[in-house]
A and B are shown apart, each in its own frame.
Chain A
Amino acid sequence: MSRNHGSSTRRLLEAARYHGFGIAAALLFLAPLVWSVLVSFKPSIEARQPPLPPWPVGGFSVQSYENLAQYGSGIWTYAGNSLAVSAATVAASVLVSLLAGYGFSRFQFPLKNVLFVLIISTVMIPFQSILTPLFLILTKLGLQNTLTGIVLVYVTLQLPFSTFMMRNAFDAVPREIEDAARVDGASVFAVLYRIMLPLVLPGVATVAIFAFLASWNEFLAALILLTDQKKYTLPVLMAAVRSGQFGTIDWGAVQSGVTLMMAPCLALFLLLQRYYIRGLTAGAVK
């Protein structure tokens, strides 16, 4: 009896230590995010003071968001730019890698392996080192300072990951499924669209999430390639606000911008966690 009692006390103590550490660490990781969201809902004057306590004392207010909306051509221009760039990057990444993944998985052609390695190995080259030529090439194509130009760059930067991901997704589908459809006389595209696409949707989800997060959050290339203030994406605009290009720094407005930028990333991750983690571990296992 007493020994039983002792071991259950020990187990309880162990659990308390485990969760004590867990909760404390979780709070430390979440605190900055929560703090930023809370200050964004303080009235302007209060947001200028140190955030102690973190929650709005004088009642919730959307003043910081109203101030944020005033910057430059209006926040919706920039949010719209960011959204357009991300949506186009997601769509184009999915399309291009779907085709490439299918091609590399199911067809034989000369130099197939060389071309695959060529695409994958660009991941080793830091894109930071080719930004100047990219700037000149986009200028030549008339795409410098356009959202289309930056989308093309983002899609290219995603290609090693997305092509790799989609090739693996197609490799995992048994060939018999396709062969049966081909015998029935379906065309290559019909097979890809009707039969294969539903089977590789998890891979598509992974490619889409990574493309969204990368393009929504990317800063350096956008800073260099978008020179006209009207074309700025959210990170570039907010960095300009922080550096004081729009006058005295309104920290409440900056944090409302941060909240606006964080919200879709957090929501997407929490909803589609499984597909995100799958993409992360694909590299670690392979």
Chain B
Amino acid sequence: MTDQQQLPDGTSRPRRTARQRRKQLVGLLFVAPALALVLLFFIVPLGMAFWMSLHNWPLLGKPRFIGFDNYSRLLDDARFWASMRFTITYTLVVTVAIFSLAFPLALFVEKTRPLTKFYRTAFFLPVVVGFGSASLLWAWLLDVDSGLFSPAAYSLGLTDKRINLLADFDTTFWSIIIMVVWKTAGFNMIILLTGLQGISTEVQEAARMDGASPWQRFRRVTLPLMRRTIALALILSVAGSMLAFDQFYIIADGGPQNSTVTAVYWIFSQSFGSFHLGYGSALSMVLLAILVCISVVQLRLLRNPEGM
């Protein structure tokens, strides 16, 4: 940099360093607000969450240090593991469902033709609606008395009475899967679309010249070249689903019989329903560890594309 230059005039060098130091300070000042926020509202709470997880921490009254008791307790917490199992099942099912719709949609809107822009926008619109709004919308569509699906199925003669879709685990589960696919397919479509558009047409053309069938081209050219994009969309989808809360809280209230309580939902009810703040923090740390593992895998996949 500039201060490494040999300067003929000996006095200008210290002045340059001083100016440089001032410039460093200005740079630090520019990033200071962002750093302060991250420190106060992210790093400190993160440390606190771990500290709290080592305590019996009621909402009121003195916290008591209990070491790793919360962690040994959560090993035997059947309802936590049930919520974990449910969250993982949901994540696997919803991710497969989202991709089996988003991929065809991305291929469908890849080439620009008349109306393609309209289709892209239409498929994407549910994404910008919040999960809260979408859940309230679908809670109504799924309602047995005033909703759409159950009365419509009855009046079409598909069912012999109005079925309460939210009274049974399977129908609740699949209804929410459909709602989430509707809400998020457009997002994954756009991510996959950027991957598709990143593949040069020459590569596709060369494969075509070599006599590869459309399926072979997709399987042997498109998919391998989209590995990074697919990995990214996959991880975003998995991480988002592992943290699902809004739709299960608003549509199903965790029911029927607490069968759709997700991990975040269980942590929420332990921390802010029963006010076991220390125990809730221990549960949070377990969830956090799982999510960080997923993110680390993500970073590795993105760094070396061959690693998949």
- Chain A interface (Cβ < 8 Å from any Cβ of B): 18-19, 21-22, 25-26, 28-30, 32-33, 35-36, 39, 47-52, 95-97, 99-100, 102-104, 106-110, 112, 115, 118-119, 122, 124-126, 128-134, 136-137, 152-153, 155-156, 159, 163, 188, 213, 216-220, 224, 235, 238-239, 242-243, 251, 254-255, 257-258, 261-262, 265-266, 268-270, 273, 276-277, 280-281, 283-285
Write 8 A-B pairs (CB below 8 A) sorted by A numbering.
Answer: A21-B108, A103-B30, A119-B34, A132-B284, A134-B41, A261-B133, A262-B129, A281-B194
Contacts A118-B38, A280-B191 aside, 11 further interface pairs with beta carbons under 8 A come to A19-B115, A25-B119, A28-B182, A49-B146, A100-B33, A110-B24, A133-B44, A136-B277, A220-B245, A242-B250, A265-B130
With an 8 A cutoff between CB atoms, is B80 at the interface? no
With A25-B105, A29-B126 in contact, do A132 and B281 touch (Cβ < 8 Å)?
yes
How far apart are B66's CB and chain A's nearest CB, in angstroms? 16
Q: Residues 209-247 of chain B: 1 if any A CB is under 8 Å from the residue's CB, otherwise 0? A: 000000000000000000001001100000100010110
* Beta-carbon contact of A50 and B140 below 8 Å: no
A29 to B10, CA, bound (A): 72
Interface size class of B (residues with CB under 8 A): 35 or more
Q: Known interface pairs A47-B146, A52-B151. Does A130 touch B284 (Cβ–Cβ under 8 Å)?
A: yes
Whether the pair B33, A217 counts as a contact (CB closer than 8 A) is: no
Of the candidates B37, B139, B288, which one forms a contact with A159 in the assembled complex, judged by CB atoms under 8 Å apart?
B37
List the B side residues contacting A277 at CB < 8 Å: 190
Does B128 lie within 8 Å of A213, measured CB to CB? Answer: yes
Beyond A29-B123, A159-B37, is A52–B155 a contact (Cβ under 8 Å)?
yes
Q: Are B52 and A155 in contact (CB under 8 A)?
A: no
Q: Are A262 and B133 in contact (CB under 8 A)?
A: yes
Residues 17-56 (chain B) with a chain A CB within 8 angstroms: 23-31, 33-35, 37-38, 40-46, 48-49, 52
Which residues of B line the A interface, CB within 8 A?
Answer: 1, 23-31, 33-35, 37-38, 40-46, 48-49, 52, 105, 108, 113, 115-116, 118-119, 121-126, 128-133, 136-141, 143, 145-148, 151-152, 155, 182, 186-187, 190-191, 194-195, 198, 229, 232-233, 239, 243, 245-246, 249-250, 253, 264, 267-268, 271-272, 277, 280-281, 284-285, 287-288, 291-292, 295-296
Whole-angstrom CA separation of A248 from B27 in the bound complex? 57
Q: Can you name the residue of chain B whose Cβ is closest to the Cβ of A121?
A: B295
Residue of B nearest to A250 (CB): B146
Q: In the complex the two chains form, is A266's CB within 8 Å of B130's CB?
A: no
Contacts of A153 in B (CB 8 A): 41
Q: A204 vs B292: C-alpha distance in the bound complex, in angstroms? A: 29
Q: In chain B, what residue has the closest Cβ to A35?
A: B148
Q: Report yes or no: B27 in contact with A103, Cβ–Cβ below 8 A.
A: yes
CA distance in complex: A29, B121 (Å): 10
Prevailing SS type, chain B contact patch: helix
A125 — which chain B residues lie within 8 A by C-beta? Answer: 42, 46, 288, 291-292
Residue among A33, A153, A243 facing the most chain B CB atoms (10 A cut-off): A33
Decide if B148 touches A107 in the complex (CB within 8 Å).
Answer: no
State the 3 A-B residue pairs at the shortest beta-carbon distance, nearest first. Answer: A107-B27, A217-B130, A103-B30
Say yes or no: B125 contacts A33, CB within 8 Å. yes
The reply to whether B190 and A281 form a contact with Cβ atoms under 8 Å apart is yes
* Residue from B48, B131, B139, B146 whose CB has the most chain A CB atoms within 10 Å: B146
Rounded to whole angstroms, the CA-CA distance of A50 and B144 in the bound complex is 9
Contact in complex: B126, A32 (CB < 8 Å): yes
B155 to chain A, nearest CB (A): 7
CB atoms of A242 and B26 under 8 A apart: no
- Least CB distance from A265 to B in Å reads 5
CB < 8 Å neighbour of B30 from A21, A32, A100, A134: A100
B33 & A96 in contact (Cβ 8 Å cutoff): yes
| Partner pick for A284 among B141, B232, B268, CB 8 A cutoff | B232
Contact of B136 among A96, A156, A239 (CB under 8 A): A239
Per the bound structure, the CA–CA distance linking A69 and B133 in Å amounts to 17
* A109 touches which of B28, B115, B147 (Cβ 8 Å): B28
**B141 and A32 contact, CB distance less than 8 A:** yes
Known A-B contacts A36-B140, A136-B48; the reply to A217 vs B131 at CB < 8 A is yes
Residues of B within 8 A of A35 (CB): 141, 148
B49 interface neighbour in A133, A156, A273, Cβ under 8 Å: A133
B190 neighbours in A (Cβ, 8 Å): 277, 280-281
User: Inside 8 A of A239's CB, which chain B residues have their CB?
Assistant: 132, 136, 249-250
Q: Please state if A130 and B42 are interface contacts (CB–CB under 8 Å).
A: yes
Known: A96-B37, A97-B34, A153-B41. Is A130-B113 also a contact (CB below 8 A)? Answer: no
**B residues in contact with A266, CB < 8 Å:** 125, 128-129
Asked whether A122 and B42 contact (CB < 8 A) given A129-B49, A129-B284, A266-B129, the answer is: yes
Chain B residues lying within 8 Å of A219, measured Cβ to Cβ, are: 130-132, 245-246, 250
